[in-house]
């Protein structure tokens, strides 16, 4: 059974137990530091004794790492994501909407899980619903924290996915926003394979535009965003080096095939 944290959102029992244990340990260690501090002021045989280094380190670690309820909640959410329990994760995040945990960190995680669920849907209607809900969450996240790499990452990704359901004009117009968002995310999260892959997919799709789409882009925007298959290959190889995945490998193969033509 889940428990309510002090801030009003749900914490699983094992997460709450870790929090209690951490706070008990922190209290005990602070008492140890107080004792050691008093001993420092009491010379022994004319010497001022320093506390053992490991005691000082332990005190600093316990005090700095005492997690808040929100941190524990997001730890629980990320564990569900790592375990690919997407339905449970979505329900957990939705319950926290309106609580003290609500904010940019909650909203980009909502966007992420909607993105994951969109890959698992069995109908196009279900996929569109997930993509649109994910974009809405990402827009809220980036409005709350525009300087966050994570909010910009999921805003750029969801904006790219929604391109399957909007007009050509809208899709090309969004391409500027996608690139800007992913560039910010890449600067903030240089080791993030998902961002590199998203940039590679953006470059590939843009380079693969048909004649009609290019004509519309030139007529409406004058100078549409530019890229090439070499850029797509570069980003895909970066993504694969960070985390080898089938998607990154496929993009590498597709970009190489285009470059051989």
Q: What pLDDT, in 10s, does the model give residues 157-168?
A: 999 999 999 988
pLDDT digits (tens, 9 = 90+) for 223-249: 767 889 999 999 999 999 999 999 999
When pLDDT is averaged across residues 183-207 and rounded to a whole number, the result is 96
Q: What is the mean pLDDT of residues 86-101?
A: 95
Beta partners for residue 4, in sequence order: 10
Mean of all residue pLDDT scores within the chain: 81
Most confident stretch, 41-45, 60-64, 192-196: 192-196
Q: Is residue 215 part of a domain?
A: yes
- Let me know if residue 230 belongs to a domain: yes
Residue 47: DSSP 8-state? B
Asked if residue 220 is part of any domain, the answer here is yes
Residue 228 covered by a domain: yes
67-78 average pLDDT score: 92
First to last CA, the chain: 59
Question: Looking at the chain, how many residues does it have?
Answer: 261
What's the pLDDT score for residue 225? 75
Tell me the mean pLDDT in the region 30-39. 41
Structure confidence by residue, pLDDT tens digits, 114-129:
999 999 999 999 999 9
Please give the Cα distance from 243 to 236 (Å, whole number): 10
Give phi and psi for 250, each to the nearest 5.
Answer: -65, -40
Decide if 89 is inside a domain: no
| Tally of domains in the chain | 1
Inside any domain, residue 37: no
Q: The domain containing residue 259 runs over which residues?
A: 191-261
Say how far apart CA 216 and CA 136 lie, in whole Å: 27
- Is the full-model pTM beyond 0.85? no
């Amino acid at each position: 059974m889940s428990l309510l944290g002090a801030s009003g959102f749900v914490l699983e029992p094992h997460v709450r137990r870790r929090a209690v244990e951490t706070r008990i340990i922190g209290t005990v260690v602070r008492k140890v530091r107080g004792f050691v501090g008093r001993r420092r002021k009491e010379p022994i045989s004319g010497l001022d004794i320093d506390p053992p280094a490991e005691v000082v380190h332990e005190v600093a670690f316990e005090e700095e790492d005492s997690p808040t309820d929100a941190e524990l909640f997001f730890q629980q959410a990320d564990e569900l994501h790592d375990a690919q329990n997407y339905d449970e994760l979505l329900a957990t995040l939705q319950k926290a909407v309106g609580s003290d945990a609500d904010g940019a960190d909650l909203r980009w995680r909502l966007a992420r899980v909607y993105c994951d669920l969109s890959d698992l849907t069995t109908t196009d209607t279900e996929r569109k619903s997930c993509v649109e809900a994910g974009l809405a969450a990402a827009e809220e996240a980036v409005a709350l924290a525009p300087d966050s790499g994570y909010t910009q990452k999921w805003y750029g990704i969801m904006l790219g996915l929604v391109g399957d359901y909007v007009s050509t004009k809208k899709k090309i117009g969004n391409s500027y926003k996608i690139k800007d968002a992913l560039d910010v995310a890449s600067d903030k999260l240089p080791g993030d394979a998902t961002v590199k892959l998203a940039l590679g997919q953006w470059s590939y799709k843009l380079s693969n535009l048909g004649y009609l789409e290019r004509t519309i882009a030139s007529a409406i925007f004058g100078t549409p965003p530019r890229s090439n298959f070499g850029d797509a290959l570069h980003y895909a190889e970066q993504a694969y080096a960070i985390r080898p995945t089938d998607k990154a490998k496929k993009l590498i193969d597709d970009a190489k095939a285009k470059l051989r033509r």
